[in-house]
Amino acid sequence: MTAQSPAQHAPGADAATTPWWRDAVVYQVYPRSFADADGDGMGDLPGITAHLPHLRDLGVDALWLSPFFTSPQRDGGYDVADYCDVDPRFGSLADADELIASAHAMGLKVIVDIVPNHSSSEHELFQQALAAGPGSPERDMYVFADGRGEHGELPPNNWTSIFHGEAWTRITEADGTPGQWYLHIFDTSQPDWNWQNPRVHALFRDVLRFWLDRGADGFRVDVAHGMVKPEGLPDAAVNAEGLLDIPEGEVPIYFDNDGVLEIYREWRPILDSYEGERMMVLEAWIPEHRLPLYIGPEEAHQSFNFGFLQATWGVETMRAAIEKPLALADAVGAPTTWVLSNHDVIRHATRYGFPPGYRFGEGLGRAETPDAALGLARARAATLLMLSLPGAAYLYQGEELGLPEVAEIPDALREDPAHLRAGVPGRDGCRVPLPWRADAPAYGFSPTGESWLPQPEEFGALAADAQEGVPGSTLEMYRAAIALRREHGLGRPDAPVEFLEDLPEGLLGLVRGEVVVLVNTSEQELPLPAGPDGLDLADAEVLVGSAEPVPGRLPADAAVWLRRR
């Protein structure tokens, strides 16, 4: 069988001038759950610093730190009480400086999470806003409004929170009377900033400079499509059940308003004024056609592409999830990003253990039992596919160990506000502390054996030290693939992505320069097909595979990188 007329995609960029973030492998650290140095059962900055060699040896280019700022931790730190200080649970500013310096000394860039849509209700400016009266400059820092109804007893509009329930909370004024309402698109403890107010703009410009001055190489922008609300705070359309009516592929009325683009145009010159290539990556869940507005030389550098993460297992779905963003990358003139897991979604080693098309809820319920071996096999294959693609790849801590989502966390220990507000399992299952050592208390997460969420027994066999140096382990597969990706320039856009056509059913194939990538999505082992130009791939060198190699064949649910000879 020959590969005919491969489809080509080659987002234009001069390889010689490629800034680091365009093809970087970035590793997301969720500080609470990475490594605990002081033994209180909660991860911390010194724990991260101590484990930087793990990231260096994995071969990543950068780490992205989820929030470690002062916070009551009502949403895992995405409720910030002081943007320019470190929460005592995680350490001190000196620990942050040391972490950044140590990472830089190892050649690792550091991306800091910035949360500009909302603060914590414990932020001193929110406390001042509560204390000052309606119409005061203090209150104008946040989105306050009078209620509807005769006595203002109804919320100002019908918006609902991403974490369920109303998006408004009524306050009691300083004199004890029922008062105004404040907007919180997320938890009640996360009041939205008022981005109509120039003082909010000034505050965040200072926050950016604060971390840039301390050496941050970039920012991951939380809810990057959320800050600016529609003029007049109008009601949203609702469906027959009274729920917000959001057409497929669209977003709620309070997201993706054009005003947010101005914020990036304001921030970009600040980043550009610093030495080095400081960058912003947006967490923007927006319709695809809107992406080109957010990314550009005057806006943000890149945005997470969540389509690949959402694609179900299969040739057509995964190919489409590659082709679409590549075409968009052409349109915006910047390479795309790839993500399979993060701290908000069910880990991909578990997602793939369910039949394609399985309808997941918010988190994994105890009664939902994946095929764990199948999930891990497909997750490893999907990872090899992702790491072969041009653009930046974002990894989430623990995926290099093949960690599954943990379903059996007792409800009383769950902390996700979505769980607390609505009873859904929520996101704690992907936030369980990492296993470093198979035979240590808390699997080496903490010296005292404490762990803010219980780790399941299966974490022992998946611990980093149990996989280190073990051929075929998930950790060694990640290390090999990341090294090969660099060696063969796979992240760079210069070599086009050429899909192999007319492959046997269930086989996805693409070519990147001298590397041929094959993914067997079928349930049968398949013979290796002919490669580009009729090349016999059975004769090609195996660079890395996700499964035990079988000469001339590709096992079911597996991927392989081959070098054309």
Q: Which of 30, 78, 308, 313 binds ligand NOJ (CB under 6 A)?
A: 78
Q: With helix as H, strand as E and coil as C, how does 443-493 read?
A: HHCCCCCCCCCCCCCCHHHHCHHHHCCCCCCHHHHHHHHHHHHHHCCCCCC
Give least dist CB 187 to ligand NOJ, A.
Answer: 8
Give yes or no for residue 75 binding ligand NOJ (CB under 6 A).
Answer: yes
Give least dist CB 416 to ligand NOJ, A.
Answer: 8
Q: Which is nearer to ligand NOJ, 73 or 157 (CB)?
A: 73
Cα separations in angstroms, 378 against 3, 94, 318, 353, 399: 25, 42, 12, 8, 13
Q: Which is nearer to ligand NOJ, 223 or 376 (CB)?
A: 223
Give yes or no for residue 223 binding ligand NOJ (CB under 6 A).
Answer: yes
Q: Which of residues 184-213 bind ligand NOJ (CB under 6 A)?
A: 186
For residues 61 and 55, give the distance between their C-alpha atoms in angstroms, rounded to a whole number.
9
Q: Which is nearer to ligand NOJ, 78 or 436 (CB)?
A: 78
Helix axis angle for 259-272 and 198-213, nearest 10°, is 30
Q: Which is nearer to ligand NOJ, 78 or 443 (CB)?
A: 78
For residues 403 and 426, give the distance between their C-alpha atoms in angstroms, rounded to a whole number.
17
Which of 256, 283, 405, 416 is catalytic? The answer is 283
> Are the C-beta atoms of residues 74 and 120 closer than 8 Å to each other?
yes
Give least dist CB 516 to ligand NOJ, A.
Answer: 35
> Are the C-beta atoms of residues 142 and 130 closer than 8 Å to each other?
no
Give least dist CB 113 to ligand NOJ, A.
Answer: 8
HSE value, Cβ hemisphere, 13 Å, CA-based, for 414: 24
Phi, psi of 340 (to 5 degrees): -115, -25
For residues 434 and 462, give the distance between their C-alpha atoms in angstroms, rounded to a whole number.
9
Which of 222, 400, 416, 498 is catalytic? The answer is 222
Q: Which is nearer to ligand NOJ, 34 or 78 (CB)?
A: 78
Give least dist CB 279 to ligand NOJ, A.
Answer: 18
Q: Which of 36, 87, 256, 344 binds ligand NOJ (CB under 6 A)?
A: 344
For residues 474 and 435, give the distance between their C-alpha atoms in angstroms, rounded to a whole number.
14
Q: Which residue is nearest to ligand NOJ (CB)?
A: 78
For residues 395 and 348, give the distance between their C-alpha atoms in angstroms, rounded to a whole number.
11
How far the first Cα of the chain sits from its last, in Å, is 18
Q: Which of 96, 115, 295, 309 binds ligand NOJ (CB under 6 A)?
A: 115
For residues 280 and 113, give the distance between their C-alpha atoms in angstroms, rounded to a whole number.
10
Give least dist CB 449 to ligand NOJ, A.
Answer: 27
Residue 465 annotated as catalytic: no
Q: Which is nearer to ligand NOJ, 377 or 418 (CB)?
A: 418
Give least dist CB 240 to ligand NOJ, A.
Answer: 29
Give yes or no for residue 23 binding ligand NOJ (CB under 6 A).
Answer: no
Q: Which is nearer to ligand NOJ, 343 or 479 (CB)?
A: 343
321-325: long-range pairs with CB below 8 Å, 24+: 322/385, 322/389, 322/497, 322/510, 323/7, 323/9, 323/499, 324/288, 325/391
Q: Which of residues 238-297 bind ligand NOJ (CB under 6 A)?
A: 283
Could you tell me which residues are beta bridge partners of residue 520? Answer: 507, 558
Residue 217 annotated as catalytic: no
Number of residues near ligand NOJ (by CB under 6 A):
9
Q: Which residues contribute to the site for ligand NOJ (CB under 6 A)?
A: 75, 78, 115, 186, 222-223, 283, 343-344
Catalytic residue list: 222, 283
